[in-house]
Structure 1
Amino acid sequence: MSSQEVEATEVLVVGAGQAGVALSEHLTKRGISHVVLERDRIAERWRTERWDSLVANGPAWHDRFPNLEFEGVDQDEFARKDRVAQYFEDYAAQFNAPIRTGVEVTSVRRREGAPGFDVETSAGAIQANYVVSATGAFQLPAIPPIVPENSGITQIHSAQYKNPEQLPAGGVLVVGAGSSGVQIAEELRRAGREVTLAVGPHDRPPQRYRGRNFVWWLGVLGLWEAATPAEGAEHVTIAVTGARGGYTIDFRNLAHDGIRLVGRANAFADGKMQFGSDLAANIRRGDANYLDLLEQADEYVKRTGIDLPEEPEAHIIGADPECMTNPTLELDLAEAGITSIVWATGFRTNYDWLQVDAFDEQGRPAHKKGVSTEAGVYFLGLPWQSRRGSTFIWGVWHDANYIADQIDMQRGYLRYEGSSRPVYDEELASA
């Protein structure tokens, strides 16, 4: 392709999920030319990498962008996944976002002898002054290499799980006790399956307390704005759900409902899964996180005098089930009737296409609030990018505003051409 045929744009945004749509709005407001490339459809992960019954974990009044409400969804309801995907399509249409779907970015390299980057895509080459990775951190399903593929056990990641009918008859082991693992385990149990849930370290906020959703409490308490996670909590998962109208997850209740709770899945040999002895400690850690938020909420009510109903029963922690006091450390899967495993074990990043100096020794983005160590390259949608809320819908919108500001400032520097009048030494000496 000749240089005349190479498309040029000021900013290239990779990914048209919530991060890409948010950034496109902010760039559009500033009059900055840009193109958003998406290899599938807008908000594709909400469509095809989530289970059928998934709803947002926060209510519609909160889990949205500022300039569009969820039409047809009550503000206190939790929008279904397909409705969330449609929301981003509708939002992009509001300002005619320059999004191109079905186009995959295969490589980004810094230009030689010229500013900006050379970008190769499935639809041709593009030159861009700035590149923003809006693909987030949840890119490739991560399944730990514990159970061999030839074990005879059906294994899928939570991103591939759709509904109970998808799995073969028999019991199911769900590994991971964040929002995905808990919701999938409960759905399977309600469908009549025998379910074992491996529980690791987690936080579990109350879904509602004293008439307010947990997102409201995190807001008024200033906890959404925390710049870094608590020490030792960098990778702790959050157990919260908007399913069935939203309710507070309590692992003791899950055990009461017939779900077998075990500690972290550590190893597999001869058809047997070994689990850690950390189940009780993990659950009690979640309890402590839960009670701490209740206490902060009560102090806020006392300090401000706001009229909210008391809820003393929320502070009561039930008795430990036998699975906590006498934990299962090894389980023969065949004897237990377990025929499948759902790995709700998170995701890993994949930046093979971004061939620039913007990563640390572990291959993670090296950045400060999304501004990378490679001039002209930015990240958006990363956990704790600027605050606790960075991966939430509303949080990524505010981070996108910051990235757009940074790009605009850099454009201002590049537009400066310097003074045409020479400054002489004698002028400087007399100044």
Structure 2
Amino acid sequence: MSATASLPHHRVAIVGGGQAGLSISHHLRARGIDEHVVFEKHRAMHVWETQRWDSFCLVTPNWQCALPGHPYAGDDPHGFMKKDEILAYLRGFKTKTGARLREGVSVQLAKPLPGGDGFLLRTGDGAECTAEQLVVASGGYHQPIVPRLAERLPVDIVQLHSAQYRNPAQLPPGKVLVVGAGQSGAQIAEDLHLAGREVLLAIGDAPRCARFHRGRDVVDWLADMGYYEMPVDQHPLREGVRDNTNHYVTGRDGGRDIDLRRFAREGMQLYGALQALDADGTLRFAPRLREVLDSADRTYNGINASIDRYIAERGIVAPPAPAPYEPLWEPAAERETLALAGSGIAAVIWCIGFTPDFGWLDAPIFNGRGHPAHRRGVTAVPGLYVLGLPWLHTWGSGRFSGVGRDAAYVAERIAASLKAPVPTMELASCI
């Protein structure tokens, strides 16, 4: 008898209790695969509670909230749910799924058993169990990115990652340097700006898009145009699209564009990407501010132009096309340096994303960049799947709009590959 034969056993183990993990649980149950377990090291959906600022709201319309068996049912499908509404929506989904959740239980190790006979899992307290199939649904945003130069900032400057930011009041008086202008950075900079704080924003290559164009939300147009149905292998960038920064836009106050040039005209100080901190306390920025602003505007105008072509080709009745966006403000010169001494900067907010952490998964599925290789969530290791990653299959794979469809596909693959049903039993426990 093998050393693992006496261990508690699950037909399917799911690691991660966010929208991806609960979605696959829903679809497994719909296929009669009740004997599965979801391990969540914190609480289900905890990221939405703990890593979102107070004024956070969706940047895509409510109608795109389409978790399996739990579509948006409110009275504002074209609005944008605020944080409390999102949490209520997710609590409702958690209740509906009835998932067998093991909250507060981390998986410290998961690896294939010899001979392809399932997987061994070890939890945080050292307990072990086995599983016939394994779904990695923990997402790809694990470790907040903070550059090493942060260690050399003066100790009296408060530093937060975007995951820790809540509201302007938590920061000391003084100027705030926001580093990064993707979705989080642009919205946090706006939150501070609207609160009357003096903001310095270091921006990279993030693109932007319009909120509304020709009488409708741009998301509505792109949905009609089939963009959200495009699989990753048909995207012009192929798998490279997974590395793209999301377009900055906001659903705040009913939805609007985020125009960094307008912020600059109102007093926000814009810089290129932060590159270094010299020994004398001088911050150095890439001299590319004009270039990245122009690039973001080209993307903005390009998306609108693609919508215009779609309208024209189909003879759709819509309001007239506005003139292409013209810059409201231009940098007089590149700001390449900033001496911290005397700058008045009291806080820095790092908005440069997260890195994945799959150190607990001992399986030969990772590429040279540490990301799991897969095709629509199916890896080269039999019985091992990934779910909830950006562009796993389509644009919506890491979002409420598409994760359910991905989960249905993976659940179908699991159902087809499971061995003959075993007698009904009490759910095994790893602890």
Q: Same fold by TM (over 0.5)?
A: yes
Aligned residue identity for 1:363: G
How far does the alpha carbon of each residue in 1:89-138 deviate from its partner, in whole angstroms, 9 at most, with x for none?
A: 21232242222212111111222356101111236422111111111111
Pairing 1:235-384 to 2, within 5 Å after superposition? 235-269=244-278, 270-313=280-323, 315-321=324-330, 324-384=331-391
Aligned residue identity for 1:144: P
Mapped partners of 1:212, 1:291: distance in 2? 16
Q: CA deviation at 1:346?
A: 0.5
Mapped partners of 1:302, 1:332: distance in 2? 52
Q: CA deviation at 1:251?
A: 1.6
Do structure 1's residue 128 and structure 2's residue 112 form an aligned pair?
A: no
- Contact 2:182/2:206, CA 8 A, preserved across alignment: yes
Mapped partners of 2:300, 2:116: distance in 1? 54
Mapped partners of 1:149, 1:336: distance in 2? 16
Pairing 1:75-154 to 2, within 5 Å after superposition? 75-112=77-114, 115-122=117-124, 124-149=127-152, 151-152=154-155, 153-154=157-158
Q: Which has the higher contact order (CA 8 A, sep 6+)?
A: 2
Question: Structure 2 stretches of 5 or more lacking a match?
Answer: 422-431
Q: CA deviation at 1:72?
A: 4.7
- Contact 2:142/2:356, CA 8 A, preserved across alignment: yes
Partner of 2:227: 223
Partner of 1:429: none
Decide which moves more: 161-170 or 82-91. 82-91
Partner of 1:391: 398
CA 1:224 to 1:72, structure 2 compared with 1: closer, same or farther past 3 Å?
closer
Pairing 1:196-235 to 2, within 5 Å after superposition? 196-228=200-232, 230-231=236-237, 234-235=243-244
Partner of 1:20: 21
Mapped partners of 2:411, 2:116: distance in 1? 23
Decide which moves more: 329-338 or 85-94. 85-94
- Contact 1:181/1:344, CA 8 A, preserved across alignment: yes
Q: CA deviation at 1:283?
A: 1.2
- Contact 2:261/2:329, CA 8 A, preserved across alignment: yes
Q: CA deviation at 1:334?
A: 3.0
Give the TM-score normalised by structure 1: 0.89
CA 1:248 to 1:73, structure 2 compared with 1: closer, same or farther past 3 Å?
same
Do structure 1's residue 68 and structure 2's residue 45 form an aligned pair?
A: no
Do structure 1's residue 56 and structure 2's residue 63 form an aligned pair?
A: no
Matched residue pairs, number?
Answer: 410
Decide which moves more: 115-124 or 272-281. 115-124
Q: CA deviation at 1:415?
A: 4.5
Mapped partners of 1:381, 1:240: distance in 2? 22
Q: Identity of paired residues, percent?
A: 37
- Contact 2:201/2:270, CA 8 A, preserved across alignment: yes
How far does the alpha carbon of each residue in 1:260-303 deviate from its partner, in whole angstroms, 9 at most, with x for none?
A: 11100001112211111111111111111111111111111122
Q: CA deviation at 1:66?
A: 5.3
Aligned residue identity for 1:19: A
- Contact 1:62/1:215, CA 8 A, preserved across alignment: no
Mapped partners of 2:386, 2:69: distance in 1? 23
Aligned residue identity for 2:202: A
Partner of 1:426: none
Partner of 1:427: none
Report the 3-state secondary structure (helix = DSSP H, G, I; strand = E; otherwise coil) of the residue aligned with 1:169: coil
Report the 3-state secondary structure (helix = DSSP H, G, I; strand = E; otherwise coil) of the residue aligned with 2:192: helix
Partner of 2:171: 167
Mapped partners of 2:31, 2:165: distance in 1? 41
CA 1:260 to 1:284, structure 2 compared with 1: closer, same or farther past 3 Å?
same
Mapped partners of 2:236, 2:345: distance in 1? 37
Report the 3-state secondary structure (helix = DSSP H, G, I; strand = E; otherwise coil) of the residue aligned with 2:186: helix
Q: CA deviation at 1:244?
A: 1.9
- Contact 2:4/2:130, CA 8 A, preserved across alignment: no
Q: CA deviation at 1:398?
A: 1.2
Aligned residue identity for 1:286: A
Q: Which has the larger radius of gyration?
A: 1
Aligned residue identity for 1:174: V
Do structure 1's residue 193 and structure 2's residue 197 form an aligned pair?
A: yes
Decide which moves more: 303-312 or 264-273. 303-312
Decide which moves more: 225-234 or 364-373. 225-234
> Following TM superposition, where does structure 1 have runs of at least 4 consecutive aligned residues deviating by more than 6 angstroms?
2-5
- Contact 1:358/1:377, CA 8 A, preserved across alignment: no
Mapped partners of 1:141, 1:149: distance in 2? 18
Give the TM-score normalised by structure 2: 0.89
Aligned residue identity for 2:403: V
CA 1:85 to 1:126, structure 2 compared with 1: closer, same or farther past 3 Å?
farther
Mapped partners of 1:126, 1:214: distance in 2? 48
Mapped partners of 2:124, 2:87: distance in 1? 24
- Contact 1:42/1:85, CA 8 A, preserved across alignment: no
CA 1:281 to 1:230, structure 2 compared with 1: closer, same or farther past 3 Å?
farther
Q: CA deviation at 1:47?
A: 0.2
- Contact 1:280/1:325, CA 8 A, preserved across alignment: no
Mapped partners of 1:267, 1:3: distance in 2? 51
Report the 3-state secondary structure (helix = DSSP H, G, I; strand = E; otherwise coil) of the residue aligned with 1:368: coil
